[in-house]
Amino acid sequence: MVETHFTLVRHGETDWNLQGMLQGHADPPLNDTGRRQAALVAARLAALPFAACYASDLRRARETAEVILAERGGSVLHTSRLLRERGLGNWEGLTLSQVRERWPQQYQLWVQDRNTAPPGGERLEEMAQRATCYLRTLAQVHAGESILVVCHGGPIKALVCEALGVAIASSGQMWTGNCSITRVKHDRQGLVVLTMNDLCHLEGEAQP
C-alpha cells in the first residue's frame, strides 16, 4: 500500500510567543531561542531523507525551515499561504487580556465558541479546511514519499483532528510546542497519527 509520510514541525519561538501575543498572520521573526530550537530540530532530522520540503510563507516558519534545510545541499523550499496559522484579524499583536479589555463582547463569544471569527479574522474551521485540503493534495503529489512540512500549531492540530476523526474544536485540548515534531502518514485507509508533539530534541529548552 502506497503511503505518504508527513513530518510536521511547528516553527521556533518568537518574541511574540514569549510575550503571550497573538500572532495569526502577523509576521514576527524567530528570536535567539527560536533559532537555537530550529538548529536542534535540524540535528534531530538530519538523518531523515525528505523528497520535498514545504513551509508556511510566514517568516517564523520559513526561517525555521531554512535552518533545517541549511545542511541539505540542493533542497528547495516551497512556501504557501495555505499553511498559515489561523488569521486573527484585529487581535494580532495583542495579548488575551488586551483583547478582553478592547473587545469584551466578541471575546466572550470567542471563549464560548472558538470557531467564532475574531474581527477581521478567520473561523477555526476555515483555517482547518484550507490547511488540510492543501496537505491532502501534497499527499497525492508525493505518494509513496516522505515530506517535511514546517508551519504552525493550528494547521498541525487540524490534520491530527482529521486523522482522529474528531471536530476541529477538539484542537483546544491539544498542544504543539515550538519546534515540536508531529508525524502523520496517509494511505488508502486515510490518515494515521504516528507521533505528536515530540520535543525530545529540545530537552532543557523552556516552552512558553
Residue 71 pLDDT grade (very low, low, confident, very high; cuts 50, 70, 90): confident
- 70-89 average pLDDT score: 94
CATH number of 4-87+123-202: 3.40.50.1240
- 8-37 average pLDDT score: 98
pLDDT score of 74 more than 80: no
Amino acid 208: pLDDT: 58
- 195-203 average pLDDT score: 96
pLDDT score of 204 more than 90: no
Using CA atoms, how far residue 15 sits from 19, 32, 89, 126, 129, in Å, is 6, 9, 19, 27, 28
Q: Which segments within the chain are labelled E, that is strand?
A: 4-10, 52-56, 77-80, 146-151, 181-187, 190-198
- The greatest distance separating any two alpha carbons of the chain, rounded to the nearest whole angstrom, comes to 54
Nearest to 157 by CA among 177, 142, 138, 137: 177
- 129-148 average pLDDT score: 97
% of the chain residues with pLDDT over 90: 93
Show which residues are catalytic: 11, 85
CB 87 within 8 Å of CB 121: yes
Residue 206 pLDDT grade (very low, low, confident, very high; cuts 50, 70, 90): low
The letter for the amino acid at 42 is A
Identify the burial level of 42 via C-beta atoms within 10 angstroms of its C-beta, where 0-12 means exposed, 13-18 middle and 19 or more buried: buried
- 127-139 average pLDDT score: 98
- 144-156 average pLDDT score: 98
- 159-182 average pLDDT score: 96
Residue 114 pLDDT grade (very low, low, confident, very high; cuts 50, 70, 90): very high
Amino acid 193: pLDDT: 98
